[in-house]
Structure 1
């Protein structure tokens, strides 16, 4: 292992943070620099009492992975090799306990490997007998970086494990940088939905809120709140339905949209409910490390759709004062009350309304509201 070669490969990984299409090549280069043949990123659950921490619950092909690892991972998922896997059963507790790098000889004896289906029918079948797992604990999500060695290479030894552990801070910075960049992308996406009056939440692979836009935050209150990062309606039936919908959306193949439960209602005391609709993310909207898995659209059924003032000004040439009056009328405010809110006389408001009728080609207030409401979508 040459340190200069490792650092050059790490530089390629930093470039891949900005250009995800480079990950496969960057990780291939990094694996070779560490004397390996393949490597990938793997999120793991630190709470070993949780429902089977070995089950990835989502496609591992979505995380950064080198070319050589892809075929192994496809078989790993297809045949459910992650169940009763000795490397996960024995390696994860060691990482949770604080071990920086775990190698194959710390997970099984030579005799156990001779009898292991996982070792013989999966890893030896693809020509990768050697193994090391690098532990990268983070605040929100801990990561394991598995690395394979091919038949022509020796097993990782304790001295090499100690050397590799020196680079854990580099991996932590790499993941942290990606987190920050992806968080900004997620915020930008949900903020854009604010512009079209669409409250939205990005939900990560654990079912927790990754980010909320301003519209969704405004819906939080006694009937809908965050509990340990999870959107939780106060109404028990609504909560059960919402969590079931989110779990279902996270588990199904993203292409199988038709099989998903697409919506549920969140009941509110003394008011109309909130409609929750789930949309799987893919392509550029799904971030690199799969923090954001689904988009949850929230519609307040008690709220009338109100267009933005700027949109009315552009569409109909309204002045700022006219647009402000029009927005209040669309929201259901009576003309006299709207005048009071705007601190103008009732007669001034009537004059402005007549101008608005003229500019929009309408003649009655109901006709005006029906027209302008269309711009609230």
Structure 2
């Protein structure tokens, strides 16, 4: 296509092109309309948007136009790394496309002798292209490839530059769609986790980074846990090692392994342990996500017996006439604490506690600590 013609067509259709581009980004990554418009405006044969790993040697997801499924599958499984431009493309600065005819050391006669051309591209009549890394994250690289047939001719320097003039918008659209996919995955995971267990929870991604706190966590006494810049740690080194291993295992399993769980009691001085359950959440396994892969998450559920004491404390005082100190002692008994442990924790006399316990028995009509514990635990916690 003559350079002036491409320039004119891009100018005339710029608003429609950008509308299609950002519409694709807002439509859960449905990039096909944008690729079709780029093919039409540049006089090309086909186009692909590839989501690769950071090393750019494995295609993880892709959007393609005018390449049939079987040919594309063969490209993904075998020919992607046989492409004569693949290695050199990884050495070129990201953020723009390069003409395969002008910007690579593999000249056209050499390309025609390659296995990539003769066993794959030739049958599709793909002779020329522009390609490049248009967006990058810590885990992924996104590459855009637009191809022409032999009859359509190569991409000139001016044409390549004109196509590159659109790339700042492509990068912003990709960034927007990535943020939206991440947000959607986080919200979906949080909703799924909340429906699985009615407990306070922390949501992690596969790297152990905290993605969400449930509001009920405000009721939890965090003794035994330590929050860090990278996530969370259990203060017990052995338990923390087990936690990290379980988190790594659960966030790397397939969706059919959702029954995997990890349970632990986190000890705390002078009070009952935290009961923790780590379970996987799998929004990233949704086959309807067409482009951006989302993290497999894990939810750490936390049951803190101390979090149930608030309303029970008031009920013990109003219903049975216990004093504030007596209500606290009754709940400590219900939590399974011994009088000696309570005395040591609160720096109080064991004789004072025994006197208070006798008063509690008189007011509640109980005569044993086990009966008192049963009474307290039957009171609604919320």
Query: TM-score, normalized by length of structure 1?
Result: 0.63
> CA separation of 1:154/1:231 partners in 2, compared to 1, >3 Å: closer, same or farther?
farther
Q: Distance in 2 between matches of 1:216 and 1:286?
A: 31
The answer to whether the 8 Å contact 2:48/2:144 transfers is: yes
SS of 1:82's partner is: helix
> CA separation of 1:75/1:339 partners in 2, compared to 1, >3 Å: closer, same or farther?
same
Aligned residue among 12, 17, 34 for 2:42: 34
User: Match of 2:304?
Assistant: 303
Please list the CA deviations of residues 317-346 of structure 1 after superposition, one character each: whole Å capped at 9, or x if unmatched.
xxxx969968xxxxxx99813999xxxxxx
The answer to whether the 8 Å contact 1:197/1:215 transfers is: no
Please list the CA deviations of residues 109-134 of structure 1 after superposition, one character each: whole Å capped at 9, or x if unmatched.
22432232223222223333322224
User: Match of 2:154?
Assistant: 155
User: Match of 1:185?
Assistant: 184
Correspondence 1:116 to 2:126 = no
Q: Give the unaligned 5+ runs of structure 1.
A: 47-51, 308-320, 327-332, 341-349, 355-363
Displacement of 1:11 in angstroms is: 0.9
Correspondence 1:293 to 2:292 = no
User: Match of 1:55?
Assistant: 58
User: Match of 1:128?
Assistant: 126
SS of 1:298's partner is: strand
User: Match of 1:13?
Assistant: 21
> CA separation of 1:245/1:335 partners in 2, compared to 1, >3 Å: closer, same or farther?
same
Q: Distance in 2 between matches of 1:289 and 1:283?
A: 12
Q: Distance in 1 between matches of 2:141 and 2:285?
A: 24
Q: Note the 1:330-349 alignment, pairs <5 A.
A: 336-337=327-328
Q: Give the unaligned 5+ runs of structure 2.
A: 1-5, 316-323, 332-359, 365-371
Please list the CA deviations of residues 86-122 of structure 1 after superposition, one character each: whole Å capped at 9, or x if unmatched.
433221211xx34621222334222432232223222
Q: CA RMSD in A?
A: 4.8
Please list the CA deviations of residues 6-48 of structure 1 after superposition, one character each: whole Å capped at 9, or x if unmatched.
44123112122333485323321223223323333334555xx
Which protein has greater RCO, CA pairs closer than 8 Å, 6+ apart?
A: 2
Correspondence 1:243 to 2:239 = no
User: Match of 2:87?
Assistant: 89
> CA separation of 1:283/1:23 partners in 2, compared to 1, >3 Å: closer, same or farther?
farther
The answer to whether the 8 Å contact 1:203/1:295 transfers is: yes
Please list the CA deviations of residues 181-209 of structure 1 after superposition, one character each: whole Å capped at 9, or x if unmatched.
334434433554458435253636xx574
User: Match of 1:76?
Assistant: 75
